[in-house]
Amino acid sequence: MTDKGKNDLTSKAKDKTRGNPEKPPYWFEIIVSDPQKRTGDPGSSSGYVSYQISTKTNNTSFYDNRGDPESIIVVHRRYSDLLLLHDILLNRFPTCIIPPLPDKKVFQYIAGDRFSERFTQKRCHSLQNFLRRVSLHPDLSQSKVFKTFLVSKDWESHRKVLQDSLQPNKDEVTDAFMNAFKTVHKQNEEFTEIREKSDKLDRTVTKIDKLFHKVVKKNDSMSEDYTKLGSNLQELQELVTGENEELAAKLKIFNEGVTQLSYGLQDLTKYLDYEYIVDLKDLEHYIDSMRQLIKLKDQKQIDYEELSDYLTRSIKEKNNLISGYGGSNFFANKLEELAGINQEASRREKINKLEGKITSLTGELENAKKVADGFEQECLKEIDHFESVKTAEIKKSLGSLADHHIEFYERILEAWEKVDDSL
């Protein structure tokens, strides 16, 4: 990774209200490569793919504080290892936008083609995007689990401990499920704008994604047609060989141009399919991760609003009891009277209980307010970071797209100029 690339990826987003988002104190260069099929556990017929992860960083702690060596840290991990890393980060950094992983249940996987070159190379690129995004985050990049993942030669010994730490909190899961059906009453206007922009961005990226899928199909078809044309030209060349050597030579030269065109289309299409479209899909998932954080922020706001409503109802009930208009309904009062219960004593007892509840709720409400406000501020910081990374990624991907097209046309121009000079 060049210094310019590092600066682009860690550039600060300009924001008048919150200032610039933090950038990581260290740089990382992480490459995921060399996917290899491995056999599964003994007795299992299934296999898996192992990926080589190569890391270089100026963080000396990754090299046991032995300075800043030129050596590259190399480990091998499978998809489930990266999934575990993702889940650990999601669990330990609830206020952060955790970069997404490529979905395991894609078409190729379901079709049983997860060991093909096309599938493993595309996944390689996507996994690299995930690790790069983590390395760009000021908190995630400095986490112990991230370091262990990148450097440990005994990763298996850490897996069970990490997996055991992921036991879900049932109460949190239930609360999140129930709150999914509720909406925030008083939404921050800034978040309303963020949602609208993210929705538009997602729709636009999805459209571009679909268009480039069409481009890939058309390029594949064109490449195949040019290959067939080359075969027909070869047959024509063979027919005239011996009868018209000059024409045969020119057919051979022209066929070379057609062949270069076919190869060039194949290379360009492979880049679009293996990298550019993968980047678009990863960006779609990254946007969704940002949305998930906003939903979690909304859950904290909903918790605060519900506590506030509960406190308001409790205060109202207490005031009604004091004024003599509250408490139990008519039939309940009659039952208490028949049972010999002192109505006035009962009323005072209810008031005392409500006063205790109100005191407790007031403290809980203050805490919920702090949590909601703090979560909102952290969420805004994360969105700033997301924007800076997103902007850098789009610029980089567009630059790479332009470079590959320039390379394609220069290659084809050179080939056809040779053909033209020879005819």
The model's pLDDT over 229-283, given as tens digits with 9 standing for 90+, comes to 999 999 999 999 988 999 999 999 999 999 999 999 999 999 999 999 999 999 9
> Is 37 part of a structural domain of the chain?
yes
> Is 210 part of a structural domain of the chain?
no
Give yes or no: residues 223 and 150 share one domain.
no
Numbers of helices and strands, H then E, in the chain: 12, 3
End of a domain among 167, 197, 231?
167
What is this structure's pTM? 0.81
Measured over the CA atoms of residue 275, residue 277, residue 279 and residue 282, the dihedral's sign is negative
Q: Is the pLDDT of residue 401 over 60?
A: yes
Give yes or no: residues 294 and 385 share one domain.
yes
Give yes or no: residues 163 and 242 share one domain.
no
Q: Taking a C-beta distance cutoff of 8 angstroms, is the pair 85, 145 a contact?
A: yes
Over residues 34-47, the mean pLDDT reads: 75
**The tokens of 156 are what?**
């298996």
**The tokens of 206 are what?**
């999805």
Would you give the end-to-end CA distance of the chain in angstroms? Answer: 44
Q: Is the pLDDT of residue 43 over 60?
A: no
Q: What is the mean pLDDT of the chain?
A: 84
Give yes or no: residues 108 and 251 share one domain.
no
Give yes or no: residues 276 and 400 share one domain.
yes
Among the residues of 324-342, which ranges form H helices? 330-338
CA distance linking residue 350 with residue 344, whole number of Å? 10
Task: Determine whether 102 is exposed, middle or buried from the number of CB atoms within 10 Å of its CB (0-12, 13-18, 19+).
Answer: buried
Total domains in the fold of the chain:
2
User: Which 3 state secondary structure label does DSSP give 172?
Assistant: helix
CA distance linking residue 257 with residue 412, whole number of Å? 8
Domain of 144 in residue numbering reads as 3-167
Give yes or no: residues 315 and 245 share one domain.
yes
Buried b (16+ CB within 10 A) or exposed e, 108-125: eeeeeebeeeebbbbbbb
> Is 154 part of a structural domain of the chain?
yes
Instruction: Output the CA angle 281-26-67, nearest 5 degrees.
Output: 135
Give yes or no: residues 223 and 360 share one domain.
yes
Q: Where is 213: in which H helix or E strand? A: helix 189-240
CA distance linking residue 136 with residue 415, whole number of Å? 42
Q: Taking a C-beta distance cutoff of 8 angstroms, is the pair 17, 408 a contact?
A: no
Query: Could you tell me the pLDDT band of residue 19, with boundaries at 50, 70 and 90?
Result: very low
> Is 201 part of a structural domain of the chain?
no
State the CATH number of the domain containing residue 8: 3.30.1520.10
Reported residue count of the chain is 423
**Bridge partner list, 27:** none
Give yes or no: residues 363 and 276 share one domain.
yes
> Is 185 part of a structural domain of the chain?
no
User: Which 3 state secondary structure label does DSSP give 93?
Assistant: coil
